[in-house]
Amino acid sequence: MQTEAGIDEDTEVGMDGRSASWGMEDSTVNKPAAVMKRSYTKRIIPPLSERCRLERLGPLDAAKAAGEQFTPYVVTSPTSKTLKNMDRNERRCSTFSGCRKETSGKPAVEYGHCVRLATHSQFHGLVKSAGVDFYPLGGDPRVIIQGYMITKNIHLATPREIGIQSKQIRAIMESLLPACTQPDPITGQPFRAHAIIANPPAYGRVDVAEALGVPLHIFFTVPWTPTNAFPHPFIPISQRSGNWLSYVVVDLLIWWGLRGWINKLRKNKLNLGPIYGFLNTNHVSISHLPTAYMWSPSVLPKPNDWGPLVDVTGYCFLDLGSKYEPSEEFVQWMQNGATPIYIGFGSMPLEDSRSITNIVLEALKSTGQRGIIDRGWGGLGTSDADISEDIFMVSDCPHDWLFPQCYAVVHHGGAGTTAAGLKAGCPTTIVPFCGDQFLWGGIMYQKGVGPAPIPLSQLSVTSLAAAIRFMIQPQVKYRAMELADRIKDEDGAAAAVDSFHRHLLTESPLQPTLSLEKDSGADPVQRFFGWVGKLCCLLCAC
């Protein structure tokens, strides 16, 4: 049976946007419950031991006994997709802020919570504008993302860049505990977290929760929980049999890269014992933690083999466009012609922005379309050629204001930018650079709201023009509007807060642990995998 897009319903789309069996509908069909509960990670990775209970820094009961009259929790959201301005690149931070600020129109304070959002200083204004307390995390995400080179769509870091970026990740890790315990740096108001909401790149999150004795909940916009339905976004394998294992591999590589840093954090900052073993990934994995994924189930349904600890809540949006005031020139341009196509690559770096700009200009010209070019971090729009009156260059323009006025969008495929385009009912072409961008590009193709993704190395006048012609078909626009209607009926913020409340425990699910396994020292093989792991954890932070 085929969908309107001409794609078999039994076939999902692989990381390259082409046909691949993800098997989301049948991954657990006819499997007994006992079999479904077993996983490769449970066989390979030993569970956390409760043999040794070390003194915690401050359990929940002690904090309550100190006379605190509210239930504070901290949201940690470090990200290397850093985000230059609140319109285009602060998508991930906007998602977290939207979930915290509003739930079915009710302020979060009505739920009895005092919320602190800990993220990078670039987002201070955005967080405060959402009515949420802010605390700065360490590290500079710009340093991480600008340190990458793009070679055949794979972000490669030189040894020198690994050293520079490693310092940024360590700075993030070392700032997690102060974010959960220190007074407001401006007002001096005391704060101590009774619960933590974090995303996977908040390395050290499990250890801080363990030290404080508080529950931990994962919120994220990218699939990170093992499943047979599709591979980990950072390991785009084509064999369905390896899907589940790909998540285990990512956890192992991250653990190998961060193991030394995490143990130093535990010893020097958290008063906890070390975690031994090269297979003990519980302190970087999220498979054992309650998790809320903030994308629409109409876009990517919850796989059948994700258990009750995992929820797909829907997108969380902030209203950033209501305060935006476009220039008179921009307003006149929008009114004096056909509905334009948006093209922008956000925070993604471009090695040759002039060449990419020329491709964009020629593709728009050959298809007879007007275009809005978003300069972004990569300097898109830089060209020696004369710019046609059918082209308008923008910077710092909120997507929730701009996208509803566009017919279709072409972008890098960040989760937040993809969400904004779908909400606006825009057919979508994704030019993926790395990571989950390939996943969302494949889903756009599978849903029939966009062509197959075009990796940057394959972007040409011919391929982009073909993508634009695909998007301007009336049936594609109709499917995009249908999907937008389903997204508008969802209340992602309410569902996310409900997920947090349903899984909220009275104490940390993790006890301070010491494995019985002892280290025998790092031999050359271990040092090699440690180096590989450091590179991988940087890629996963992208």
Question: What percentage of the chain carries pLDDT values higher than 90?
Answer: 46
Of 488, 511, 527, which residue is a domain's last? 488
Show the DSSP H helices in 16-106 as ranges. Answer: 33-37, 40-44, 60-65, 91-101
Residues 533, 476: one domain?
no
pLDDT band at 132 (very low <50, low <70, confident <90, very high): confident
In this prediction, residue 518 carries a pLDDT of 40
Mean local confidence (pLDDT), 286-301: 95
Q: Within a domain: residue 9?
A: no
Is 269 in the same domain as 389?
no
Among the ranges given (29-38, 312-321, 469-478), the one the predictor scored with the smallest mean pLDDT: 29-38
SS3 391: strand
pLDDT of 89 > 60? The answer is no
Query: Predicted confidence band at 367 (pLDDT cuts at 50, 70, 90)?
Result: very high
Q: Are residues 479 and 515 in the same domain?
A: no
* Mean pLDDT computed over every residue of the chain: 76
Check pLDDT > 70 for residue 23.
Answer: no
pLDDT of residue 387: 86
At 190-223, the pLDDT tens digits run 999 989 999 998 899 999 999 999 999 999 999 9
Quick check: 158 and 140 in contact, CB under 8 A?
Answer: no
Pairing of strands 12-13, 19-20: antiparallel
| C-alpha of 30 from chain center | 32
Domain count for the chain, please give it: 2
Q: What is the pLDDT of residue 277?
A: 85
What band does 151 get if pLDDT is binned at 50, 70 and 90? very low
Query: Is residue 275 in some structural domain?
Result: yes
Question: 329 and 230 in one domain?
Answer: no
* The pLDDT value given to residue 197: 92
Helix (H/G/I), strand (E/B), else coil: 107? strand
3-state per-residue secondary structure call for 135-197:
EECCCCHHHHHHCCEEECCEEECCHHHHHHHHHHHHHHHHHHHHHHHCCCCCCCCCCCCCEEE
- Amino acid, res. 299: V
Question: Does the pLDDT of residue 483 top 80, yes or no?
Answer: yes
Count CA atoms within 13 Å of residue 273 on its CB side: 17
**What number is the average pLDDT over the span 338-359?**
89
Q: Is the pLDDT of residue 478 over 60?
A: yes
With bands split at pLDDT 50, 70 and 90, how would you rate the model's confidence at 66?
very low
Task: Tell me what pLDDT residue 506 has.
Answer: 47
Residue 425 and residue 374 share a domain: yes
Residue 298 carries which DSSP code? T
pLDDT of res. 42? 29
305 part of a folded domain: yes
Same domain, 66 and 133: yes
Reduce the DSSP state of residue 341 to 3 states and report it: strand
Q: Which residue has the tokens 């602190």?
A: 116
My answer on whether 478 and 514 are in the same domain is: no
Does any domain span residue 453? yes
* 421 in the same domain as 506: no
* Residues 224, 311 share a domain: yes
Beta bridge partners of 392: 372
Q: Within a domain: residue 50?
A: no
Residue 167: what pLDDT?
82
Of residues 528 and 236, more confidence is placed in: 236
What predicted TM-score, i.e. pTM, was given to this entire model? 0.76
CB-based contact 258:537 (threshold 8 Å): yes
Least confident of 52-61, 399-408, 490-499: 52-61
Whether 179 is in a domain gets the answer yes
Partners of residue 195 on adjacent β-strands: 73
Instruction: Judge whether residue 115 has pLDDT over 50.
Output: yes
Residues 195 and 294 in one domain: yes
Residue 531 has pLDDT above 90, yes or no: no
Which of these three, 488, 505, 531, is where a domain ends?
488
Q: Shortest CA distance to 144 belongs to which of 220, 91, 83?
A: 83
Write out pLDDT tens, residues 370-416: 999 998 877 787 777 778 899 999 988 999 999 999 999 999 999 99
Among candidate residues 466, 488, 510, the one where a domain is terminated? 488
Q: For residue 253, give the CATH number of its domain.
A: 3.40.50.2000
Looking at the chain, the whole-number percentage of residues with pLDDT higher than 70 is 68
- Is residue 336 a part of any domain in this protein? yes
> Cβ neighbours of residue 22 under 8 Å, at least 6 residues apart?
12, 13, 14, 229, 230, 240, 243
pLDDT of 133 reads 87
* Residues 253-280, mean pLDDT to the nearest whole number: 91
Q: What is the mean pLDDT of residues 430-457?
A: 94
Give the pLDDT score at 245: 93
Domain assignment of residue 113, yes or no: yes
The answer on 223 and 195 residing in a single domain is yes
Range with the lowest mean pLDDT among 428-437, 466-475, 498-507? 498-507
> Comparing 47-61, 113-127, 391-405, 513-527, which segment has the lowest mean pLDDT?
47-61
Per DSSP bridges, beta strands 19-20 and 71-76 are unpaired
Q: Is the predicted pLDDT of residue 465 greater than 80, yes or no?
A: yes
| Domain interval for residue 143 | 59-315+492-541
Of 3-12, 156-165, 190-199, 241-250, where does mean pLDDT reach its minimum? Answer: 3-12
pLDDT at 27 exceeding the cut of 70? no
The predicted pLDDT at position 121 comes to 85
| Average pLDDT for 41-47 | 28
More confident residue, 112 or 471: 471
Residues 421 and 521 in one domain: no
Residue 452, pLDDT > 80, answer: yes
